[in-house]
Structure 1
Amino acid sequence: MTPREEISAWRPPVPGVTEVFHARFTEHTYPLHVHDDWTLLIVDDGAVRYDLDRHERGTPDGTVSLLPPYVPHNGSPATAHGFRKRVLYLDMTQLDESLIGPAVDSPDLVDPVLRRRVGQLHTALAHPGEELEAESRLALIGGRLRAHLRPAPVPGSVPGRSVRAGGVAHDLRDLLDARLREGITLQEAASLLHAHPAHLVRAFGAAFGIAPHQYVTSRRVGLARRLLLDGRPPGDVAPAAGFYDQAHLTRHFKRVWGVTPGRYARTGRAGAARPVVDQP
């Protein structure tokens, strides 16, 4: 990691927010990965280019980007000097699965009021004792996001499209999620789902734009992040998140986040002590 690249991450005591992540990256490129939370992103400097559901997207000035759970995406600097961003990871209590489809279609929202409120929430989350303010601001943000994403009703149709519809690809994803820590071989999955292994791989890639092994690795890295921010040492986190050993965890973690698990864990509350402050 170059000297100009830095991160801070912590888990605030506010229901609905699973993690806060601040970063400046000049060179780091995120590989294709998924989250099981909503990713609410604002860029304070520079710009990010990313692919979501196999469509190229970006973060124009002043936008708020909302990346839905379960949908593969990557990310890289879109300017020569990189970017500085603030991210909130929100659980499914804030936005339900019916909004995943609309978020895939329109992830970048031009809304100055929403942008200001997201910045104010970051400031509240960075200061212990401001939980009530944070919860209040989160409630307003959730309502505004739902208003953006709620599609207009179409007669005779169900609003939105769900990436959790039926089919063998979704059955495989459910199985991978259920066996995330201990793992499962492709042959075992094929036997349980009564499908040929090659068909499973093709169907999964066609449905989600990511290979089954990439999906499992990114989910395990996500689990490792949460455990690290809970204070568990990397050596314990590795097997708890489904990695063979600490070296295995470190290799994949650094590829996704640009830093080692130990450095990520050390940001913790120290990172929150230097917030980017938005005016109230």
Structure 2
Amino acid sequence: MADRVRAWRPDVPHLREVLHAEFTEHAYPSHTHGDWAVLLIDDGAVAYDLDRHPHTAEPTTVTLLPPHVPHDGRTARAGRPFRKRVLYLDESWLPPDTIGHSVDQPTVARPDVGAAVRHVHGALVGGDAFEAESELVRIHDLLREHLHGPTPPAATDAPLARRLRELLDAAVADGVTLEEASRVLGAHPSHLVRSFSRAYGMPPHRYLTSRRVDLARRLVLDGLAVADAAVAAGFHDQAHLTRHFRAVLGATPGAFARSARS
């Protein structure tokens, strides 16, 4: 029986579904699905068989379940519920030869992967699709490294990074997805993120967020209501703006508005 279940389909490339759930007694029978599942356990633990081999998903790790491979799932601690969050990504998200490797290595005990997965969920709940897309590109690269070993670093592509920055600067409020930028600039999203991060010391989603905070600050100081400034600057809502505004500037947009009036 499910105590709590929330599922939705965000507008993020490759991300087909998100599930947040807490189960007390439910046990998944053996089944398959056509997507990659990136599983995060928040509390409790899940025992599961993947391709008839036993594993345990713990809060300290991330579990990568490949498409088309039978698996089941149940609480690993009798009488104790488990809470989980799952990202379902389409089959093309990782290359086909990754499936066999993930059957052998479904447990990812890397703090950087866990942190990135949590950032995706936080961005999705906060309504920041661009941040979620950018973090998913990072997770993609980290998981490929986990399964295949590290790849040689690519040469810095400063001209490409500058073109991406210009693209972001031209669409601060409306935004642009990495998939759209990839088509416009003729480069893979992973290469875009790596090149931009090397050139400017931050990933593109953080750069765009800082530009939006700048825009919202100016609008608030000009007298626009905070809720209206949030929408005009490209934020999901006032709460989304406030979270990033405080993180960047150390104060809420309301405090800036009050200071301007005084």
For 1:13-28, list aligned pairs within 5 A: 13-28=11-26
TM-score (norm 2): 0.55
Q: Is the 8 A contact 2:36 2:65 kept in 1?
A: yes
Residue in 1 that maps onto 2:116? 117
For 1:53-92, list aligned pairs within 5 A: 53-79=51-77, 80-92=79-91
Q: CA deviation at 1:151?
A: 5.8
Larger radius of gyration: 2
Tell me, in whole angstroms, the C-alpha distance in 1 between the residues paired with 2:44 and 2:18.
20
Q: How many residues align?
A: 152
Runs of 4+ in structure 1 displaced over 4 angstroms? none
For residues 186-208 of structure 1, the C-alpha deviation after alignment (integer angstroms, 9 at most, x for no partner) is: xxxxxxxxxxxxxxxxxxxxxxx
For residues 212-264 of structure 1, the C-alpha deviation after alignment (integer angstroms, 9 at most, x for no partner) is: xxxxxxxxxxxxxxxxxxxxxxxxxxxxxxxxxxxxxxxxxxxxxxxxxxxxx
Residue in 2 that maps onto 1:137? 135
Residue in 2 that maps onto 1:94? 93
Q: CA deviation at 1:144?
A: 0.3
Q: CA deviation at 1:89?
A: 0.4
CA RMSD of aligned residues (A): 2.0
In structure 1, runs of 5+ residues without a counterpart are 153-279
For 1:219-230, list aligned pairs within 5 A: none
Residue in 2 that maps onto 1:41? 39
Instruction: Specify the SS of the correspondent of 1:97.
Output: coil
In structure 2, runs of 5+ residues without a counterpart are 151-246, 248-262
For 1:1-280, list aligned pairs within 5 A: 1=1, 5-79=3-77, 80-128=79-127, 130-150=128-148
Q: CA deviation at 1:127?
A: 2.6
Tell me, in whole angstroms, the C-alpha distance in 2 between the residues paired with 1:32 and 1:19.
20
Instruction: Specify the SS of the correspondent of 2:87.
Output: strand
Tell me, in whole angstroms, the C-alpha distance in 1 between the residues paired with 2:98 and 2:52.
18
Instruction: Specify the SS of the correspondent of 2:97.
Output: helix
Tell me, in whole angstroms, the C-alpha distance in 2 between the residues paired with 1:127 and 1:12.
12
Q: Is the 8 A contact 2:44 2:58 kept in 1?
A: no
Tell me, in whole angstroms, the C-alpha distance in 2 between the residues paired with 1:142 and 1:61.
20
Residue in 2 that maps onto 1:255? none
